[in-house]
């Protein structure tokens, strides 16, 4: 038995309830010729006449009257199905896969995600914490937080959140042991660093007043993708490290770290959200995007 064209059943019921093809055309915003052709096709498929067409409108045959009962059920079922998806669109619920680097997760998200969970109790958050680049489409990630010195050009939607400046930090006791007046003085100290795939480790510095640029190469004593480990190693006096301000401000306030070369600055990172597309986002993803766009700059700026 061939699969029936359910759309024809739907059109049949809606047309009969409208009273005429003209009325159905207006209600459904379909050409009259399309409706008429579809109704004829339905009768051909059923092998019987379902209605008579006259100047006064449509008149059902006995078979058509019985047939309409079941077609009405299809219309009702389709409307109920639409209500299910509409309720889903109206109220945020379900699972959201969020990816973030360790530093953002442990220093910023930890401050705000509990509030989001209170506001949206039916949203389930799956926070994937990793420093590696995540393929959003390939790994079914709804939203990723990233920090880059520039937002890469790609098919993804990128929404900037805040600047994320970094600074060179050192423990006060290490700073007292070595005078650091120029960028080249950094080579006299042990250095701690994130992992660079290029294998070339250097600080790119720009003078805040003159705009002069310096590139300082170094060989790290500690290499890791975990910024927390780098921060703690710096606090313990193991070397100089370049880290985001939001990650180190508390240590600075408590006298555990201090900035070096304040007249020079590192390239400023841009904290941003990326997601695959704008249209068709689940309500839970939309509200999380809006929430992070509002809250993350606040907590990040408090740490600058």
What pLDDT digit, counting tens, does each position of 195-247 carry? 887 778 999 999 999 999 999 999 999 999 888 999 999 999 999 999 988 88
Residue 304 scores a pLDDT above 60: no
- Our CA angle for 17, 21, 25, nearest 5°, is 95
- pLDDT bin (cut points 50, 70, 90) of residue 268 is confident
**In this structure, are residues 188 and 182 in contact, taking their beta carbons and an 8 Å threshold?**
no
- pLDDT bin (cut points 50, 70, 90) of residue 271 is confident
Q: What whole-number percentage of the chain has pLDDT above 90? A: 52
Residue 8, judged by CB atoms within 10 A of its CB (0-12, 13-18, 19+), counts as buried
Other C-beta atoms closer than 10 Å to the C-beta of 178 total 14
| 127 CB-side CA count, 13 A | 15
Q: Which of 74-83, 143-152, 157-166 has the lowest mean pLDDT?
A: 143-152
- pLDDT for residue 73: 92
Mean pLDDT of the chain: 88
DSSP assignment, residue 274? E
Record the pTM: 0.60
| Residue 185 to residue 229: CA distance in whole angstroms | 24
**In this structure, are residues 164 and 246 in contact, taking their beta carbons and an 8 Å threshold?**
yes
Looking at per-residue pLDDT, the higher value among 243 and 132 belongs to 243
Q: Which of 34-38, 210-214, 271-275 has the lowest mean pLDDT?
A: 271-275
Helix (H) or strand (E) holding 259: strand 258-259
What sections of the chain are H helices per DSSP?
6-18, 21-28, 32-46, 62-90, 102-104, 110-119, 172-177, 227-235, 245-253, 283-301
Average pLDDT over residues 2-9: 84
Helix (H) or strand (E) holding 4: none
Looking at per-residue pLDDT, the higher value among 83 and 135 belongs to 135
| Residue 303 to residue 234: CA distance in whole angstroms | 18
- pLDDT for residue 206: 92
CATH numbers and ranges of domains, the chain = 6-90 (1.10.10.10), 94-159+273-301 (3.40.190.10), 166-267 (3.40.190.290)
């Amino acid at each position: 038995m061939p699969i029936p064209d359910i759309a024809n059943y739907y059109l049949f019921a809606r047309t009969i309830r409208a009273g005429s093809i003209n009325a159905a055309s207006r209600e459904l915003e379909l050409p009259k010729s399309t409706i008429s052709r579809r109704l004829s096709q339905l009768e051909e498929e059923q092998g019987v006449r379902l209605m008579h067409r006259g100047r006064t409108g449509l008149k059902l045959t006995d078979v058509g009257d019985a047939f309409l009962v079941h077609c009405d059920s299809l219309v009702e079922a389709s409307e109920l199905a639409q209500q299910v998806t509409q309720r889903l669109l109206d109220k945020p619920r379900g699972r959201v896969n969020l990816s973030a680097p360790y530093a953002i997760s442990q220093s910023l998200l930890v401050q705000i995600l509990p509030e989001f969970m209170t506001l949206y109790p039916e949203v389930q958050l799956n926070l994937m914490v990793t420093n590696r680049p995540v393929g959003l489409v390939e790994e079914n990630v709804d939203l990723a937080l990233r920090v880059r010195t520039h937002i890469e050009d790609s098919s993804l939607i990128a929404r900037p959140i805040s600047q994320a400046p970094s600074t060179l930090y050192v423990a006060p006791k290490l700073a007292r042991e070595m005078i650091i007046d120029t960028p080249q003085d950094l080579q006299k100290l042990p250095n701690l660093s994130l992992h660079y795939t290029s294998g070339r480790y250097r600080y790119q510095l720009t003078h805040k007043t003159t705009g002069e640029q310096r590139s300082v190469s170094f060989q790290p004593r500690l290499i890791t993708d975990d910024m927390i480990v780098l921060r703690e190693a710096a606090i313990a006096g193991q070397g100089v490290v370049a880290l985001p301000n939001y990650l180190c401000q508390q240590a600075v306030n408590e006298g555990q770290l201090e900035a070096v070369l304040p007249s020079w600055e590192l390239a400023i990172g841009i904290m941003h959200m990326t997601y695959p597309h704008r249209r068709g986002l689940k309500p839970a993803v939309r509200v999380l995007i809006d929430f992070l766009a509002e809250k993350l700059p606040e907590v990040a700026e408090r740490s600058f």
